[in-house]
Amino acid sequence: MLEVHDLHAYYGKSHILHGVSMRVQGGEIVSLLGRNGVGRSTTIKAIMGQVSKSGSVRFKGKEIGGMHAYLVARQGLGYVPESRDIFPTLTVRQNLLLGMKTSKQNGRWSIEDMFQLFPVLRERADAPAGVMSGGEQQMLTLCRTLMGDPDLVMIDEPTEGLAPKIVERVANLFDEMKNRGLSILLVEQKLTIALKICQRLYVMGHGHIVFEGTADDLRANEPVRKEWLEV
């Protein structure tokens, strides 16, 4: 579904990504692991069209590498940024409605689905989103993206700062997303979560992919874990 080949990305004169190649197949959960600062977030920003880049990015067989971010989103590629980017003065319900691509959408997700998955969103439905906790805002951002009915969602550090019970709910949501036919590219620091829910994993170091394999492959590869993941 998503194929990235020889991706280079830049912030001004700084060369951040050095020939990244990876793929995500239909209905697959794939994790991109690595320490802070190695280029994981830049990778998904480059795929989304938010940073200067070169190389090939194909989504559902179509080259999207030269598209603006809003056009990439219209192809069915969702993005949940680490910064959350909610609309703080709008209500939770209004934030969710803004995620829909059209007012007459009949997609895989409804507001009621979001309320059932995360009951706190129902409790806060008519409250300004800005009064929610950071963890609640993270849930809202993820649900708002799903309201756009994407085919693949790229999620940047979704469990950062969340309580263990909420992390479990987020993991359950990933399973539900997979069951509904979505693919997920997950940027995550928590190795235990990635090993539990992902079919394949990539490890990044210094702007390169240094490992690709299954969860079992990574469990068995102590040198890669020690050099590129463990603190």
Percent of the chain with pLDDT over 90: 65
CA dist., res. 90 & res. 183, Å (int)? 29
Task: Name the class of domain 2-228.
Answer: alpha beta
CA nearest 84: which of 74, 75, 76, 92?
92
Domain ranges within the chain, ordered by starting residue: 2-228
Mean pLDDT of 64-74: 92
Higher pLDDT, 136 or 44: 44
For 109-163, what is each residue's pLDDT tens digit?
899 999 998 889 999 999 999 999 888 888 899 999 999 999 999 999 887 777 7
Q: Which two tokens stand for residue 154?
A: 């790229």
Q: Which pLDDT value is given to residue 57?
A: 96
Q: Determine how many CB atoms are found less than 10 A away from the CB of residue 52.
A: 11
Q: Which pLDDT value is given to residue 133?
A: 86
For 151-206, what is each residue's pLDDT tens digit?
999 999 887 777 777 788 888 888 888 888 899 999 987 788 889 889 899 999 99
